[in-house]
Amino acid sequence: MKKRVSVVLVSAARFSAAVDDFQDLDTEIGSVEERRLIVQLNEQRERNEQQLKEIEQKKIELNLLRTEVDKKLDDLNTLRRQVEKLLAEKDAREQAKVAELSQMYNKMDSAQAARIIQELDRELAIGILGGMKAKSAGKVLANIGGERAARLSAA
């Protein structure tokens, strides 16, 4: 039995050596292919890293632009609120003036008021007549007469 064991051991050793020789041959062939694949993978990794850097740079640029746009929007909103406030103040002043003019025209002679109102801008004339007492406005419209009185009344 010892002979068989030693023969088996010798055969196993020879087989192992043959496998090692084959693996060395396969490793050389495989290593060339592996090197080619590794080179390709490294090139792809470098391209990916470059693309990632570009994406990060663009993110930074976009964030800067977003910050600028947000600031400009805030500035525009502030300006819009200021303009709205100024327009409201202007409208309030105009309404106060129209109310004051309405009181003045209430006290005037209707024929004289009619002559003046005929020369005024349509919107101002409407505002003044709207602010006058109904009786006084009726007398003024009667003195204006015709189509102009009808348009002012309709308005």
How many degrees, rounded to 5, is the angle at CA 44 between CA 39 and CA 45? 95
pLDDT over 90 percentage in the chain: 35
State pLDDT tens for residues 92-107: 998 888 888 878 878 8
**Global confidence as pTM:** 0.52
95-154 residue pLDDT tens: 888 888 878 878 888 788 778 877 777 788 788 878 887 777 777 777 777 777 777 777
Reduce the DSSP state of residue 75 to 3 states and report it. helix
DSSP 108: S
Contact call for residues 105 and 132 (beta carbons, < 8 A): yes
148 near 122, Cβ under 8 Å?
no
The predicted structure's pLDDT at residue 14:
56
Q: What is the pLDDT of residues 17-65, one digit of tens each?
A: 544 554 454 445 568 888 899 999 999 999 999 999 999 999 999 999 9
